Amino acid sequence: MPPSITPLEQSKDDHDDLVFLEEHPTAVETTGVRSVWRVMIIDDDEDVHSTTTFALGNLDMQHRPLEFVHAYSASQAREMLQHEQEIAVILLDVVMEQDDAGLHLVRYIRETLKLADVRIILRTGQPGYAPEIDAIRDFDINDYKTKSELTRIKLYTTVTAAIRSYEQIRKINDSRRGLNQIVLASTELMTLHGVHNFAAGVLHQSASLMGQQASGALCVRECPEDGCDEWRVMATAGAYCHLEGLQLTAKADARMYAAMEQSLTERRNLYGPDYITLYFAGKASRDFVAFLDMQRTMTDIDERLLEVFCSNVAVGLDNVELVSHLHNAAFYDQLSKLPNRTRLIEILDEMLASPARETATLSLVDLDHFAETNDALGHQFGDTLLVTVAQRLQSRLGEQLTVARIGGDIFCVLGDSTQVNPASILALFQTPFNIDGQDVRLSATLGLVRLNEHDGSGADALKDADIALKRAKLQQRAGHFYFSRSMGVEIRERVRMMHALRTAFGQDQLFVVYQPQIDLVTRRPMGAEALLRWQTPDGKFISPDRFIPIAEYSGLIIDLGEWVMRTAMRELVALRAAGHDNFMMSINVSQVQFRHPYFLEMLRSALEDTKAPPEFVELEITESMAMEEPDLLIKMLGQIKQTGVSIAIDDFGTGFSSLSYLQRLQIDRLKIDRAFVTEITGSARGSSIAEMVIQLGRNLGLAVIAEGVEDERQAMILQTLGCPLAQGFLFARPMTAPVLASWLNDDALQGAA
């Protein structure tokens, strides 16, 4: 039999209606158009079709009549379901062509056609024959009835419950789809920056939720309680673009104005016949209303979704200025309003990815001695000075350049190399800066990098410029230096060695050796200098000239220095226990180590823990250390002397020591640098500096020792000049602790003989 559709009218005298929770009227009802519930009957018995339509045909369910679709076999139903739309309920016979044809059809409906909303009621004329328990367990079935038990009222009740379930599922799914759209819309809105962009996004996303193009405006009323009769148009779309940036009055657009006023007065959304207004409650006397033309009638689901959307947008609109402020705080310097380091790196990345990199230069501009000016004249004066410098850099170098502030007194200029060059930038500092009627002269030091010679990221380019800046500062203030690839190799090598040094220290690849110090008259050892050495696992030695500066730069010298100090003190105690009572242990102290706030505590702790006698411990500091901040050093040396430890100045004669300060320093010994020892035999006047140091020591009551003595002639001249002690390869090379102990014992035996 061919398929058929049976529309039926509502009965006026049927009172078997079931009462459910109150429903909102549907959209189709508000328009006066009656929709129907479509019920599909699938059964090979024609009588079942006729009795079902007779029992239900004149009844309303959920405020709608029923429309029946008929299929007389499972195979016919398969074909029909591929194109039939909006089937709410299927009344399905279990046994048709085969005993389980109905169950196979359920699987086809759910798994192949993916129809998850439609409700299925299984009916059977053979109770107990079909696998009822398995069917209910394995398939999404709304109900399972025998045909004999389906009286008119029970059939009505079963179908009504199924339609109710179908309606709820459809509403839930529609709401879920709408909420997903709201999430996507809100996410897209959050990517927009600035009040205008956000407002325009609200218009487009609102229209998109309704499935149409945006045509309308979003306005803000700044002070409605003050009687202000104008709206400020924040964004427009479609036919209303001519209002962009204007004040909206009744004269400008009476229809829109009246709708917005009503929405504001009632503080809610309005749904007109061909428009909607969306109300967004704001804070601080600010309210927002959007007006949108509508091309269709709103449904209940549409209205609910818009209510949710508006509650989200209200927060966003109210806080969009805060978001803009946070964006500015993240990417712009609050004092100068220039791009900060984060924004500059973004700009650099963009430029490095463009052809502009070929002619671009990045320059760091570091204000010389700004900290002193800031401290002397006050931070407010300093801030004003920084703003003035920023304005001059921007105005004088050209608008096409990027000027940024990336640190306290460090600016950055990025742009074409013809404008970003040392001559152009440094010339800006030749004229004084006028601050509050006071002329302030500033100079700057530059570190530059040409982007066409750079292979890394924007952050890497900034690091390279900083390396060049540090090199420029080492040379002179008010100068400049360009980064080169060789500098990059040097820095990478330094970093590699820094990590290797940390590993070596942790794996005991570092050790201490001792070079004896000899009495030039008796040629007997009087002490030794502790020296740090590094031997890699493959047997290679790393020169101290290479790894000591890196240890100082990385701060590892603090731990290394303390370890050397304790190791040397323990060796001193061991030598004294072996009978070498008058042996002096000399230990080098780096400038970084010496200036550490806990150095004095480290020294006292090492002396206490090792039980080393302080009168036989000597600390060696360089002459440059002694002359830098001598007043502070004098105080520090006084505290060290209280421990009983003696002080020697290493490499004496290589610097420019002030004799007046030298007299105030509580030192015990001067050490003649190896360079002056070498000159002793090099020329007629080669011994003059060594002789001067020896005489100075004698006059100040200081002991003197010469280092780097490599031949007998040097030793004899030094002895003749009155130098009492020396060390060098002539007497002994640096040796490990066991070798030193053996060497000293051999020397003692020879002396006894």
Task: Domains for the chain: give ranges and CATH numbers.
Answer: 4-175 (3.40.50.2300), 192-329 (3.30.450.40), 341-483 (3.30.70.270), 512-752 (3.20.20.450)
For the residues 263-278, what does the mean pLDDT come to?
89
Q: Terminal CA-to-CA distance of the chain, rounded, Å?
A: 135
For the residues 173-179, what does the mean pLDDT come to?
59
Q: How far apart are CA 46 and CA 187, in angstroms?
A: 55
Residue pair 569/614 in contact (Cβ under 8 Å)? The answer is: no
Assigned token pair, 537:
């696992």
Helix (H, G, I), strand (E, B) or coil at 541: strand
For the residues 416-443, what does the mean pLDDT come to?
88
Per-chain mean pLDDT for the chain: 81
Q: Check whether 529 has a pLDDT greater than 80.
A: yes
Q: Would you state the pLDDT for residue 8?
A: 43
Q: Check whether 445 has a pLDDT greater than 50.
A: yes
Q: Check whether 339 has a pLDDT greater than 80.
A: yes
Residue pair 320/198 in contact (Cβ under 8 Å)? The answer is: yes
713 pLDDT tier (thresholds 50, 70, 90): very high
For the residues 476-480, what does the mean pLDDT come to?
75
Q: Would you state the pLDDT for residue 752?
A: 41
155-171 pLDDT tens trace:
888 888 888 877 777 77
Q: What is the DSSP string of 370-393?
A: HHHHHHHH-HHHHHHHHHHHHHHH
Q: Which residue has the tokens 């820094």?
A: 498
Assigned token pair, 145:
């009835």
453 pLDDT tier (thresholds 50, 70, 90): confident
301 pLDDT tier (thresholds 50, 70, 90): confident
Q: Which residue has the tokens 């105030």?
A: 664
* Angle formed by the axes of helices 544-554 and 485-506, nearest 10°: 90
Could you tell me which of 704, 753, 751 has the C-alpha nearest to residue 727?
Answer: 704
Q: Which residue has the tokens 């290479």?
A: 546
Give me the residues paired with residue 513 across strands.
531
3 pLDDT tier (thresholds 50, 70, 90): low
Q: 533 phi and psi, to 5 degrees?
A: -130, 155
Q: Check whether 602 has a pLDDT greater than 90.
A: yes
% of the chain beyond a pLDDT of 90? 30
Q: How far apart are CA 179 and CA 183, in angstroms?
A: 6
Query: Ramachandran region of residue 727, left (φ > 0), alpha (ψ -120 to 50) or beta?
Result: beta
620-661 pLDDT tens trace:
988 777 666 667 788 888 899 999 999 998 877 555 455 666
Q: How far apart are CA 509 and CA 533, in angstroms?
A: 9
Which of 90-104, 163-177, 446-460, 687-701 shows the lowest per-residue confidence on average (mean pLDDT)? 163-177
Q: Check whether 191 has a pLDDT greater than 60.
A: no
Helix (H, G, I), strand (E, B) or coil at 625: helix
Q: How far apart are CA 661 and CA 649, in angstroms?
A: 13
Q: Check whether 258 has a pLDDT greater than 70.
A: yes
Q: How far apart are CA 487 and CA 493, in angstroms?
A: 10
Q: How far apart are CA 272 and CA 214, in angstroms?
A: 16
Q: Check whether 211 has a pLDDT greater than 60.
A: yes
Q: Would you state the pLDDT for residue 28?
A: 38
Q: Check whether 728 has a pLDDT greater than 90.
A: yes
The winner for highest mean pLDDT among 234-238, 395-399, 627-631 is 234-238
The helices-and-strands tally (H runs, E runs) of the chain is 26, 28
Q: Check whether 26 has a pLDDT greater than 60.
A: no
Could you tell me which of 281, 289, 282, 285 has the C-alpha nearest to residue 263?
Answer: 289
Q: Check whether 753 has a pLDDT greater than 60.
A: no
751 pLDDT tier (thresholds 50, 70, 90): very low
Q: How far apart are CA 87 and CA 515, in angstroms?
A: 100
Could you tell me which of 752, 674, 673, 727 has the C-alpha nearest to residue 525?
Answer: 727
Q: Check whether 252 has a pLDDT greater than 90.
A: no
Q: Check whether 144 has a pLDDT greater than 90.
A: no
Q: Check whether 34 has a pLDDT greater than 50.
A: no
Residue pair 465/364 in contact (Cβ under 8 Å)? The answer is: yes
The winner for highest mean pLDDT among 172-186, 195-209, 277-291, 407-421 is 407-421
Residue pair 147/141 in contact (Cβ under 8 Å)? The answer is: no
Q: Would you state the pLDDT for residue 136?
A: 62
129 pLDDT tier (thresholds 50, 70, 90): low
The vertex-623 CA angle with 591 and 472, nearest 5°, equals 65
Q: Would you state the pLDDT for residue 467?
A: 86
For residue 110, give the DSSP letter.
I
554-575 pLDDT tens trace:
889 999 999 999 999 999 999 9
